[in-house]
Amino acid sequence: TMVSHGHYLVGYNVQVSADMDSTIVMGYVVSAKAEDNSQMEDVLSAVQRQSGGLSERVVADRGYGSCANAVAVKAVGIQGFLPSKAPGRKAPFKFGEDGVFRCSAGHEATQSVWTDKRSGSKYLHLRVSQCSNCPLASDCPGKGRQRAMKILDTDAGDEKHACIERCRTAEG
C-alpha cells in the first residue's frame, strides 16, 4: 500500500535478505504491509525456511527501527544492528543493570501498562516528572516538566536501544 496524490493504492512491499559478503539472496518476503517496522519476524522465518539457517547478525535500514523488530531479532539469538528512525534523537531513559529505567539525571521512571486498542499490543509507559528543577533539563530529550516514553512490554530489556547503540559503534 502506498499514498499517491492523497489516496491509498494497493501495492506490495518486498523484503529481501542478502549475505553482506557474497550478496547472495538468502530469503525474501512479499507482503501487503506498507511499513517495515513489523516485518523482521516474517523475514527471519523466510530466511530460515528458504536458506536453511540464519546469520549471526542482522543489519537493516531505519524502516526496521522498531521494538517489534528488535525483539524478533533477539528471540532467535541474532545480534541486531537496527538504526534509529530519528537518528538525532536520544531516548529519554536507559535500562540499568539494576532492572530500572532511569533518565540521564538518574531519576527512576514510573511505569504503567498501556494497551493499544487497535493492535492489542501492550506497552510500558515510562515517565519522570522531576524535570522542572533538573540541571540537565536543557540537554535532556523532550520538553516541558516531564519526560515520557512508551516501549513494547515484551521489550522491557530495552533491546531496541541496544540495537541502535550497536549501529553507533565501529562495528556498526
Determine if the pTM surpasses 0.85.
no
The SS3 call for residue 150 is: strand
- pLDDT tens across the length of the chain (172 residues): 566 677 766 678 889 999 988 999 999 999 888 788 788 999 999 999 999 999 999 999 888 887 778 888 988 999 988 887 766 666 667 777 787 888 878 888 888 887 877 767 777 777 787 766 777 766 666 566 666 666 655 554 467 767 777 777 777 6
Rounded to 10 deg, the angle between the 40-51 and 67-75 helix axes is 30
